[in-house]
Amino acid sequence: MNSSHGDYDTLIQPIEDRMIRTVWRIVRDPDDADDAFQEALETIWRRLDHVARHPNPHALILRICINCAYDVLRRKSRRERHIALAEISDEMPASAPSAAEQVASRETREEIYRAIGQLPGKQAEAVLMRFVEDMPYGDIAQALGCREATARKHIARARVKLATALAHLAPSPLREVANHEAY
Amino acid sequence: MKHTDNDNSLDRVVKSSLNSAVPLEVEARLRRRLAAFREKMDSAETEPRRRVHILAMILSPPRRALAYALPIAAVLAIAVVVLITSGGFNPAKAYAQAVEQMRKARTMTYTMILPQSGIMRMPPRWEFCYKEPGLIRQTLILQTWLAGIMQTVVIVDLTQKKGIILTSQTKECTELDFSQMPPDKFQVNIIDEMRRIPTRATEVLGQHVLDGRTVQDYRVTTEGLDRIVSVDVETGNIARMEGKFINAPGMNVVMSDFRFDVELDDSLFDLTPPEGYRKVTVPVNVANPTEDDLIHFLRWWAEHNLATAFPPSLHLKELQAKVAEMMMSDELVGDKETTSTEQLVQQSFHMMIQGIMFLLRMAPESDWHYAGQNVQLGAADKAIFWYKPTGKPTYRVIFGDLTVRDVAPGDLPTTAALPAQP
């Protein structure tokens, strides 16, 4: 390992909690979380030089986590034809739902992921970074390797598409934006 | 493309659907992955690189600051166990391995005392047990001038989000329910605090003889906390650990009798009230916290410290540390003639939770700010807290005399206030 690698305390430790939370929020299954996490760590390991030299390594690592988690979810969806999310979530006694989760049903979550899955790659990544991890636009831009304005554009376009796809789930303002929002 | 209120509706729908606390057993699994990954990174280093690491470890300050922490968590944070290494004792390596071992431990027990204790006849003593995925048992033994010996057992099952407090003196069983706590914000797993200890000692100190054993000392300093870890050179086991709060001189904690990965029977963590104990309901209505709860908390705090000042912040960890500090220095015991230490501690806990829950439950757009540090109760001209209730055009502003006024956004105080993050 050469000196450009950086170290665990610098690259990983400050965002351990966020990595775990990000992966979990996307996959919601213990085994899938384990798989996705392992894939993410392997990706980070393979690209450690690149990660360490990246202008925003933490954002890049979170992007890798999001991508790996979402890949696991997509593979699972294809394999099981969308049957798993709700049932698997119910198998988790330790994950007692918060008030917000009670409001947002598992079907809603499944539909949201399906809608995100229909987005072009960069838009999906950007919107997940924004919604799952609340990442600032600047960080998203650095993680995606684009300008901040471009990251904002990805998310704005994703919002419009999601508003259309999810209009039936939401209160009237969402339906309005789906009908009237223009590029 | 302008970000509109409609976008906010979409954000809320999506975010609320994706939001979910990580189950403890999942977190434990993923942390083990991280520990293995750290080992992989470390083992890939060349020897020259390792020497640079050790030098950096000795000379440079730690990167990660723990800031203020609950005393018990602070002490836990210095809990390490040392692997017996082949090929002689390598001080720096032994410390790093000790931290890794501690992070992997599935069970743990230890004893802790607080040597400085103004209101106690004997130092308070904790006997602590932890078992994954989230079972905690703490036995607190106090001997006060007023109340004599008291033993309090706190058992928490984080997986059930429930707990009990067993008070031997009064034969009371207080049931705790954490289910209403926002999962991402209310962390009671003090093991998590311990596992965040830096893996590099700030400084490798010298060796000396302690109780007939040669020990190697390490200093591990993070913001607000200075720890000395003593490791038995011969066995690799920890002999003693001491933590000092930098911002509270004279306040320190000492831990000993560590055991890791020992068998702990589940009955130790049973939440069933023992026979002969009377059930007590915790008077905390966390389901519907209101502005009044926050005001009660602020008033209680100001009335129970010698400076009659409001809390330094509304961050939960800082408050916990401050309560402990006040307890040790007698500042908390404003009415010790009539109130036992135990009651005071319980009151502080209840008031804190009630007040803080109001903040935790606030909508993200509430834009709350706190500016009460060093402000005394009664200062009618000083705004100490403000927030924007959902759907209202004006802000609610709480002043130092705890009166509340509705204020237009343009008329808000300009005091440098701390942004929200309880």
Between chain A and chain B, how many beta carbons pairs sit less than 8 Å apart?
Answer: 157
Q: How many angstroms separate the CA atoms of A147 and A152, rounded?
A: 9
Q: What is the pLDDT of residue B227?
A: 83
Flag whether pLDDT at A82 surpasses 50. no
Flag whether pLDDT at A121 surpasses 70. yes
Q: How many angstroms separate the CA atoms of B391 and B366, rounded?
A: 10
Q: What is the pLDDT of residue A93?
A: 35
Same domain, B265 and B309: no
Q: What is the pLDDT of residue B138?
A: 83
pLDDT over 90 percentage in chain B: 6
Would an 8 Å CB–CB cutoff place B265 in contact with chain A? no
| Number of alpha carbons in the 13 Å side-chain half-sphere of residue B11 | 16
Structure ipTM? 0.75
* Kind of pairing between the strands at B278-281 and B172-177: parallel
More confident residue, B314 or B62: B314
B34·A14 Cβ contact <8 A = no
Q: How many angstroms separate the CA atoms of A176 and A173, rounded?
A: 5
Flag whether pLDDT at A138 surpasses 50. yes
Has residue B82 been placed in a domain? yes
Cα–Cα distance list, A117 to A20, A70, A122, A159 (Å)? 21, 9, 11, 13
Would an 8 Å CB–CB cutoff place B30 in contact with chain A? yes
CB B237 within 8 A of CB B81: yes
Digit-coded pLDDT (tens) for A4-55: 345 788 889 889 988 998 898 888 888 889 888 988 998 888 778 778 878 8
In 3D space, the residue among A116, A36, A43, A68 whose CA is nearest the CA of residue B15 turns out to be: A116
CB B333 within 8 A of CB B339: yes
The mean pLDDT of chain B is: 68
The domain tally of chain B equals 2
Has residue B255 been placed in a domain? yes
Digit-coded pLDDT (tens) for B74-103: 222 222 111 112 223 455 667 776 666 677
Q: What is the pLDDT of residue B334?
A: 44
The residue-averaged pLDDT of A54-75 equals: 85
Same domain, B108 and B127: yes
More confident residue, B133 or B349: B133
Same domain, B277 and B307: no
More confident residue, B258 or B143: B258
CATH number at residue B156: 2.50.20.10
Has residue B132 been placed in a domain? yes
A12·B38 Cβ contact <8 A = yes
Q: How many CB atoms are located within 10 Å of the residue B138 CB? A: 18
Confidence of residue B14 (pLDDT cuts 50, 70, 90): confident
Flag whether pLDDT at B398 surpasses 50. yes
Last residue of a domain, one of B282, B308, B331: B282
Confidence of residue B165 (pLDDT cuts 50, 70, 90): confident
Same domain, B360 and B270: no
With a CB-CB cutoff of 8 Å, which residues 147-166 of chain A face chain B? 152-153, 156-157, 159-160, 162-163, 166
The residue-averaged pLDDT of B174-192 equals: 58
Strand, helix or coil for residue B20: coil
Same domain, B327 and B227: no
CB B106 within 8 A of CB B131: yes
Has residue B3 been placed in a domain? no
Instruction: Record the pTM.
Output: 0.42
Q: Which helix or strand (DSSP H or E) is residue B280 part of?
A: strand B278-281
Q: Which two tokens stand for residue B259?
A: 């055991």
Domain range for B378: 283-422
Same domain, B268 and B365: no
In 3D space, the residue among B270, B240, B244, B267 whose CA is nearest the CA of residue B255 turns out to be: B240
Burial (Cβ within 10 Å: 0-12, 13-18, ≥19) of residue B407: middle
More confident residue, B328 or B337: B328
Q: What is the pLDDT of residue B385?
A: 92
Digit-coded pLDDT (tens) for B267-320: 999 999 888 888 866 544 455 678 888 898 888 778 766 677 888 777 655 565
Q: What is the pLDDT of residue B44?
A: 62
The residue-averaged pLDDT of A122-133 equals: 83
Digit-coded pLDDT (tens) for B310-334: 887 776 555 655 665 555 554 544 4
Digit-coded pLDDT (tens) for B227-249: 888 777 776 667 777 877 654 55
Same domain, B268 and B344: no
Q: Which among A9, A96, A176 has the least Cβ separation from residue B6?
A: A176
Q: How many angstroms separate the CA atoms of B370 and B235, rounded?
A: 50
Has residue B72 been placed in a domain? yes
Same domain, B243 and B361: no
Digit-coded pLDDT (tens) for B356-368: 777 766 777 788 8
Same domain, B300 and B220: no
Same domain, B204 and B233: yes
Would an 8 Å CB–CB cutoff place A47 in contact with chain B? no
Flag whether pLDDT at B109 surpasses 80. yes
- Shortest distance between the Cα of B248 and any Cα of chain A, in A, equals 26
Same domain, B246 and B304: no
Q: What is the pLDDT of residue B76?
A: 25
Has residue B252 been placed in a domain? yes
- Shortest distance between the Cα of B36 and any Cα of chain A, in A, equals 10
Q: How many CB atoms are located within 10 Å of the residue A120 CB? A: 12
Flag whether pLDDT at B45 surpasses 70. no
Has residue B357 been placed in a domain? yes
The mean pLDDT of chain A is: 73
Has residue B8 been placed in a domain? no
Flag whether pLDDT at B353 surpasses 80. no
Same domain, B256 and B293: no
Would an 8 Å CB–CB cutoff place A171 in contact with chain B? yes
Would an 8 Å CB–CB cutoff place B43 in contact with chain A? no
Last residue of a domain, one of B250, B282, B314: B282
More confident residue, A158 or B416: A158
Last residue of a domain, one of B282, B302, B325: B282
Q: What is the pLDDT of residue B93?
A: 66
Flag whether pLDDT at B375 surpasses 50. yes
Flag whether pLDDT at B403 surpasses 90. yes
More confident residue, B354 or B406: B406
Q: What is the pLDDT of residue A90?
A: 38
